[in-house]
Amino acid sequence: MQRICLFPGTFDPVTLGHVDIITRALPLFDKIIVGIGTNTGKVPMFSAEKRLEWIEKIFQDEPKVSGAIYEGLTINFCNKINARFILRGIRYVSDFEYEKTIADANRQLDKHIETIFLTGEPKYTSVASTIVRDIIRNGGNASAFLPDLVAASLA
């Protein structure tokens, strides 16, 4: 059975921290699907289609990575794509507390899907999509936090 993993998030925008987690997870899984979740409680800065385009272009030479847009419960999407693992990146202890709560709920919903946590590289701990969006909204240069392709598309 293939080790299929879902890396869910909003990726609004895709940051170097996201790319770091995906790249370091490659040896662990046969396939990583970057799931761009739509959250009715959030109004994204970039369309889901634009975020998907970024993921597909960044990882165009990596056959183990693909992207998808989904709605609803992450666990339901995992079942739809036959993913038995959920990948989450952790920057700080507070991230772990929040992510563990979600992982525990997901385990209650489906005990066959395991959440895997990877800690971010220290150089990316300050990289958060929320901060990057604030920099962009206020006319700042966020390129230090973004893959070149994303930064170039915003210029």
Catalytic residue among 31, 66, 91, 111: 91
Active site residue 42: yes
Active site residue 50: no
- Of 32, 65, 67, which Cα lies nearest the Cα of 53? 67
Strands 4-9 and 31-37, by their bridges, are parallel
Active site residue 129: yes
Active site residue 88: no
Give the H/E segment covering residue 129. helix 129-137
Catalytic residue among 42, 80, 123, 137: 42
Outline where DSSP puts E strands in 65-132: 65-70, 85-90, 114-119
What is the torsion angle, in degrees rounded to the nearest 10, for the CA atoms of residue 74, residue 78, residue 83 and residue 87?
0
Query: Cα–Cα distance between 6 and 26 in angstroms, integer?
Result: 12
The SS3 assignment for 114 reads strand
Query: Cα–Cα distance between 77 and 37 in angstroms, integer?
Result: 10
Catalytic residues: 18, 42, 91, 129
